[in-house]
Amino acid sequence: MRPPSRTRALVLAVALLLGAAPAAASARAFDVGVGDSAQYPAEESAPLRAAAYRLVVDPAVPLSTYDAQIASHRAVGQLPQIVVGGIGTIHHTSADGVVATAVAAARRWAPVYSVSVVNEPNESGMPVCQYARTYLAAYPALKAAGVRRVLFGEWSPNNVLAWQHAELTHCRHTSRRLRGRIDAVAWHAYGNTAIDLGPKLSAMTARLAGRRPRLYVTEAGYVLRYRDYHVRAGTADAGGLRYWRHALAVARHRLSEIVAWDLRARPGGKWDSSLIDVAGRPRPAFDLIAGR
């Protein structure tokens, strides 16, 4: 005897749910962050529903310099995501003052989303083992200051795997100590090759340090301009959409966070991976991220 139609519908619905379960389980929640210049209002980023505002802090500059910038982004729901020293600061090859500034920043702006030390150490001119020692000094101090996430790496897209390997193997006793202090790995991912590095970074860290870290892409974007390189105007929106569709798919399956860097194009700037053009018009990728 055939079951009643209502029962058949219930059985079909359960079967569909069970069939969809593996696919749904493979996706995961992730945070979006933003980075932008202080010259633009934080409210422009509000539609993205970002959890964090990423800011490179210079140890040579008073922390009060950044107060208003951080407060404006906190007002739209974004916790400060701090990286101290490295590329984007005056003395980018130096570790002087980096740890002390990181701890002071974490306390001054608590609660924070995360804190890192040395932005793009593999591009800054800082030696491998100096970065390892700086991170090792910062990690317990930041944890004691109540920082939930202390990110390791903040690698530029160039030579990410080689630098991660060197940090974990090249510095003898420092590398051995380091292996027990890596909870989360961060890198910068401009282009699909870089955004797809997560499994290799995770596997390497698991093999050398015995743990699989959480993965954070703390700078991401489709590069429209870099020094003398310019994307043709007609391809910018299409390229950005393709990149961000792939980036969000990667984030859903393996990242804890992805940061859009930066939000709005600056007139005459040498770098542009923006989601809003110089006239203040959102690019199509902006709506894609906002509607995720």
Tens digit of each residue's pLDDT (9 = 90 or more) over 5-19 = 444 444 334 333 334
13 within some domain: no
Confidence of residue 184 (pLDDT cuts 50, 70, 90): very high
How would you list the strands of the sheet with 229-230, edge to edge? 229-230, 225-226, 271-272
Which range of residues forms the domain containing residue 248? Answer: 28-290
Confidence of residue 268 (pLDDT cuts 50, 70, 90): confident
The Cα–Cα gap between 287 and 292 comes to 9
150 within some domain: yes
Tell me, what's the pLDDT at 3? 43
Our CA angle for 186, 204, 25, nearest 5°, is 70
16 within some domain: no
Domains held by the chain: number: 1
- Residue 263 in 3-state DSSP? coil
119 within some domain: yes
133 within some domain: yes
CATH number, domain of 230, equals 3.20.20.80
Confidence of residue 26 (pLDDT cuts 50, 70, 90): low
- Residue 181 in 3-state DSSP? coil
Burial class of residue 87, CB neighbours in 10 A (0-12, 13-18, 19+):
buried
Does residue 155 surpass a pLDDT of 80?
yes
Confidence of residue 1 (pLDDT cuts 50, 70, 90): very low
- Residue 220 tokens, joined: 């991401």
Tell me, what's the pLDDT at 205? 97
Overall average pLDDT of the 47-55 stretch = 98
Task: Output Rg (C-alpha) for the chain, integer angstroms.
Answer: 21
184 within some domain: yes
Task: Return the percentage of the chain with pLDDT > 70, whole number.
Answer: 90
Does residue 225 surpass a pLDDT of 90?
no
- Residue 93 in 3-state DSSP? coil
Which residues make beta-bridge pairs with 141? none
Confidence of residue 37 (pLDDT cuts 50, 70, 90): confident
Overall average pLDDT of the 28-45 stretch = 92
Amino acid 9 reads A
Does residue 75 surpass a pLDDT of 60?
yes
2 within some domain: no
204 within some domain: yes
Does residue 235 surpass a pLDDT of 80?
no
